[in-house]
Amino acid sequence: MNSDLVLLTDSDLPGTAAGDTLAAANLRFAEANSRDAATLIQSGSDATALVVQWAPITAEVMDGMPNLKIISRLGIGVDMVDIAAATERGIAVANTPTYCIEEVATHTLALILAQARGLSRYDAAVRAGRWSAVDAVPMSIRPTATTVAVIGYGRIGRMVAASLTAMGFRVVVSDPFLDEQAAIAAGVTPAALADALAGADIVTLHAPLTESTKHMLNAESIATMRRGAVVVNTCRGPLIDEEALADALESGHLGGAALDVFAEEPLPETSRLRANDRVVLTPHAAWYSPEALADLPVHAARNVVDFLAGREVPAILNPEVLAQGVSA
C-alpha cells in the first residue's frame, strides 16, 4: 500500500466509486464527511491529496496539511478552492471538466427553448382549459430572428453555441479569452460583454465564478438588456444578483428566466423567484445523467492517482506549480 493519504472531504454523491478508484491504485484514503475547516485539518493533517466537492479549501486548511500536493474537485467549478493560495504553496488544483459537458449543454438548450417557445405557460394554459396559440409567455420566437448571447465560450459554451447556430439562431459570444478567428470560423459573432448583453433576446451564462464575474448580471447590467429578454443560467448561481433579477422580472423589464443554479441551494422558500411564473426552476440538475454520475467520482479520483504516480493530469488548473518543480 502506498504511503500517500488521500482525504475525501465531503460528497453528496451516492456510491463508493471515488474510494474504490483510489483503493484499486493502492492508495490509502479517509473520509471526513465534513465541510468544517477544523475537522478537515484534523482528519487530513497527513494528507497528500484532497478530493473535494463543496468544502471550502482555504489557505488555513492548506496550512494545516503540510504534505498536501494536489486538490481534485468533484465537479467543474472550483470557486470553493483558493487557487491563488494553493499556487503559492505549490499545490496543484484539478477539476473534472469533461464528465457532464453533454448533459449541461443539453439542459441549457432545453431551458432556452422552453422559454423561447413559452412551453411552461402553454402547458399551464391547456391544463386550465385555455386553448390559444398566441398567448405564449415570455415569447414565441423564430430562431433566425432571435439573438442569443453566450457568455463564456469554454467546452459547454461552445457546444451550446454550435447547437443554437445549427438551429438558425444568431449567436454572439463574449469571453475575455476568446479566440476571435476560431469563433468566427464556428459561425458565431465575437462581442464585448456590454454589447452582447445589450443586443440579445436571450442570454445564457457559461462563465466561471470569480471575484470579477460575481453578480455580472446586476441591476446596472440588467438595465442595459432588451425589454422582454430572457436569462438562462446553468453555470453558477452567484453570477446573478437574484434580487436585481427578481426586480427586473416583476417590473416587466425582463420577460423571463430559466435557472438551474442559485446563490443559496436549495433555493430558499422565501425567494421571490419561486413565486414568478415566468421563471423556470430546476434543482442544480443540469449535470445529471446516470452516466455522468458514474463518471464524476472516478474522474476526480483518477486526477489524484495519476498525479501521485507522476503521470500527466490535463485537468490541472494551475500548471505553473509544475513548472516550479512541484511533483508527486
pLDDT in tens, the chain (328 residues): 568 999 999 999 999 999 999 999 999 999 999 999 999 999 999 999 999 999 999 999 999 999 999 999 999 999 999 999 999 999 999 999 999 999 999 999 999 999 999 999 999 999 999 999 998 888 999 999 999 999 999 999 999 999 999 999 999 999 999 999 999 999 999 999 999 999 999 999 999 999 999 999 999 999 999 999 999 999 999 999 999 999 999 999 999 999 999 999 999 999 999 999 999 999 999 999 999 999 999 999 999 999 999 999 999 999 999 987 655 5
Instruction: Give domain status of residue 9, yes or no.
Output: yes
Q: What pLDDT does 324 receive? A: 74
Both 234 and 314 in a single domain? no
CATH code for the domain in which residue 95 is found = 3.40.50.720
Instruction: Give domain status of residue 265, yes or no.
Output: yes
| Tally of CB atoms within 10 A around 173 | 25
Both 137 and 272 in a single domain? yes
Q: What pLDDT does 323 receive? A: 81
Marked catalytic residue, from 264, 265, 291, 320: 265
The pTM score is 0.92
Both 95 and 205 in a single domain? no
Both 271 and 310 in a single domain? no
Both 209 and 316 in a single domain? no
Cβ neighbours of residue 152 closer than 8 Å, sequence gap 6 or more: 174, 175, 205, 206, 207, 208, 235
Marked catalytic residue, from 107, 236, 278, 299: 236
Both 258 and 295 in a single domain? no
Sign of CA dihedral 201, 114, 250, 267: negative
Marked catalytic residue, from 35, 155, 215, 284: 284
List, as one string, the DSSP characters of 223-261.
Answer: HTSPTTEEEEE-S-GGGB-HHHHHHHHHHTSEEEEEES-
Both 135 and 163 in a single domain? yes
Helix (H, G, I), strand (E, B) or coil at 189: strand
Both 112 and 58 in a single domain? no
- The terminus-to-terminus CA distance of the chain in angstroms comes to 16
Q: What pLDDT does 3 receive? A: 85
Instruction: Give domain status of residue 328, yes or no.
Output: no
Range of the domain at 65: 5-99+290-323
Q: What pLDDT does 218 receive? A: 98
List, as one string, the DSSP characters of 15-69.
Answer: SSHHHHHHHHTT-EEEE-----HHHHHHHTTT-SEEEESSS-B-HHHHHT-TT--
How many domains does one find in the chain? 2
Instruction: Give domain status of residue 275, yes or no.
Output: yes
Both 35 and 179 in a single domain? no
Both 136 and 247 in a single domain? yes
Instruction: Give domain status of residue 242, yes or no.
Output: yes
Contact call for residues 234 and 240 (beta carbons, < 8 A):
no
Instruction: Give domain status of residue 67, yes or no.
Output: yes
Both 147 and 259 in a single domain? yes
Instruction: Give domain status of residue 241, yes or no.
Output: yes
Instruction: Give domain status of residue 149, yes or no.
Output: yes
Both 164 and 268 in a single domain? yes
Name the DSSP class of 145: G
265 is catalytic: yes
